[in-house]
């Protein structure tokens, strides 16, 4: 007799869901190979289909696909991406592209945040909503950008520049968000609330730098001393799990800590390529979980409450990224011939960090919580679907 679905043990249900998510990546690869659609966008759409069935057909609340298992899978995926991006920031590369990364990233961050904040405020949305979304808009999803560049095989200046920008983008995002929340705290809730949030932002950044150094320095010494193969793979996985777990426990940025660790290993270890190669070999299954779960997290029942704000945020963030990238290319006069003017559009994907910031903002301003969360989750779905296409478009343009 066949088992009843309601009697399915939680462990069996989780294993079936995980297998189904990985199988969806095979479908995405098959469709992507026959179309021009990026497989990342297809995986996000698979997640949206799961959300539709889960919420509209089965009547279940959002976010219960894997219960408590989804969050650590997403965390591990993002830490892997940040670790690999940190490995791109070698001293030799920073000497040639470091100033360019700084100019373009600051331009995109500054113009983008101002465009969203001032635009939403001018449209009549509450100040707390406008400032919160302006800070949240700074964050970029490094996984989508990195995977799109990796799939394209592009190694030109624009590709290296984008990898460098997304490697430090979340640091800017955390800093801007912390400052924005502290300013709002001073203005709306008194100096004590603002100082508390500012100290949290300082710890999130400073603690991440410290954790990255504590793990990265001994790892740089150890890397390469083990034989290639299984020992090195265990070493690489251990680094990722330690970074993900300790950063969560300490309340610091896991992305920044992983990036610092990767950067230290890349610059201090003579055999640094081994750990990065092992991570690249096992990274994709975790990214599949990340992209599908991002699409499945959309709360479809509350989207109608924020339709106007969602549309305004989408338009203003796209405009801010475009204008910020154009300004950055213009300021970087020496190398601008090698860069497309619309390079900012390749920095539109947003995911985990933005949703984490939205949760913090919703806790800080509960009267706007539903509005903020609905806007960020819905816009994340759009940007995760369209963003990889924009990355490909920018990479395809002639110099």
Domain ranges in the chain? 75-396
Fold of 75-396: Na+/H+ antiporter like fold (1.20.1530)
Burial of 359 (0-12, 13-18, 19+ CB in 10 A): middle
- At 150 the pLDDT is 79
- At 118 the pLDDT is 92
Compute the distance between CA of residue 247 and CA of residue 235 in angstroms, rounded to an integer.
Answer: 18
Q: Do residues 278 and 232 make contact, with C-beta atoms less than 8 angstroms apart?
A: yes
Q: Do residues 198 and 182 make contact, with C-beta atoms less than 8 angstroms apart?
A: yes
Mean pLDDT by 10 residues, the chain (399 residues): 54 79 79 71 78 74 64 78 74 71 86 91 88 86 78 77 77 71 61 61 80 88 59 76 89 80 81 63 76 73 78 93 88 67 85 70 75 80 83 76
Tell me 338's DSSP state: G
Compute the distance between CA of residue 46 and CA of residue 291 in angstroms, rounded to an integer.
Answer: 9
Enumerate residues 6+ apart whose C-beta is below 8 A from 103. Answer: 328, 331, 332
Q: Do residues 340 and 390 make contact, with C-beta atoms less than 8 angstroms apart?
A: no
Q: What are phi and psi of 153, to 5 degrees?
A: 75, 15
| pTM score, whole prediction | 0.69
Closest CA to 114 of 176, 166, 195: 176
Q: Do residues 147 and 160 make contact, with C-beta atoms less than 8 angstroms apart?
A: no
- At 115 the pLDDT is 93
DSSP alpha helices (H): ranges in the chain?
Answer: 10-34, 39-51, 70-88, 91-122, 127-136, 142-152, 157-189, 191-222, 230-250, 254-268, 273-296, 307-331, 352-364, 369-396
Compute the distance between CA of residue 341 and CA of residue 24 in angstroms, rounded to an integer.
Answer: 36
- At 4 the pLDDT is 45
Tokens of 247: 């950063």
Compute the distance between CA of residue 78 and CA of residue 110 in angstroms, rounded to an integer.
Answer: 24
- At 3 the pLDDT is 46
């Amino acid at each position: 007799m066949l088992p009843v679905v309601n009697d399915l043990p939680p462990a069996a249900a989780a294993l079936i869901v995980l297998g189904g998510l990985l199988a969806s990546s095979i479908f995405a690869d098959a469709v992507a190979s026959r179309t021009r659609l990026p497989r990342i966008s297809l995986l996000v759409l698979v997640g949206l289909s799961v959300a539709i069935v889960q919420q509209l057909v089965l009547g279940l609340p959002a976010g219960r696909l894997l219960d408590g298992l989804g969050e650590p899978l997403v965390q591990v995926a993002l830490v892997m991406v940040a670790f690999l991006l940190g490995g791109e920031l070698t001293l030799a590369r920073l000497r040639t592209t470091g100033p360019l990364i700084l100019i373009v990233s600051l331009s995109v961050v500054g113009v983008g945040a101002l465009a969203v904040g001032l635009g939403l405020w001018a449209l009549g949305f509450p100040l707390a909503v406008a400032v919160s979304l302006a800070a949240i808009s700074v964050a970029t999803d490094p996984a989508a950008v990195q995977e799109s560049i990796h799939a394209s095989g592009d190694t030109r200046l624009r590709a290296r520049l984008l990898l460098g920008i997304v490697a430090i983008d979340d640091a800017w995002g955390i800093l801007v968000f912390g400052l924005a929340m502290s300013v709002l705290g001073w203005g709306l809730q008194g100096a004590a609330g603002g100082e508390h949030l500012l100290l949290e932002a300082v710890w999130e950044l400073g603690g991440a730098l410290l954790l990255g150094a504590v793990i990265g320095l001994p790892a740089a010494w150890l890397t390469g001393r083990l034989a290639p193969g299984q020992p090195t793979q265990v070493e690489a996985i251990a680094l990722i799990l330690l970074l993900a777990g300790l950063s969560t426990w300490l309340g610091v940025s896991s992305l920044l800590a992983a990036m610092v660790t990767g950067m230290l290993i890349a610059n201090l270890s003579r055999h640094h390529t081994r750990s990065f190669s092992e991570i690249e070999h096992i990274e994709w299954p975790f990214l599949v979980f990340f992209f599908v779960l991002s699409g499945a997290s959309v709360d479809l029942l509350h989207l109608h409450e924020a339709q106007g704000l969602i549309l305004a945020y989408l338009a203003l963030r796209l405009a801010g990224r475009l204008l910020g990238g154009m300004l950055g290319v213009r300021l970087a006069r020496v190398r601008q011939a090698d860069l497309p003017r619309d390079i900012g559009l390749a920095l539109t994907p947003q995911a985990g960090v933005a949703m984490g910031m939205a949760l913090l903002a919703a806790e800080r301003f509960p009267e706007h919580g539903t509005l903020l969360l609905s806007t960020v989750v819905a816009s994340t779905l759009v940007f995760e679907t369209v963003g990889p296409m924009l990355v490909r478009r920018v990479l395809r343009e002639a110099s």
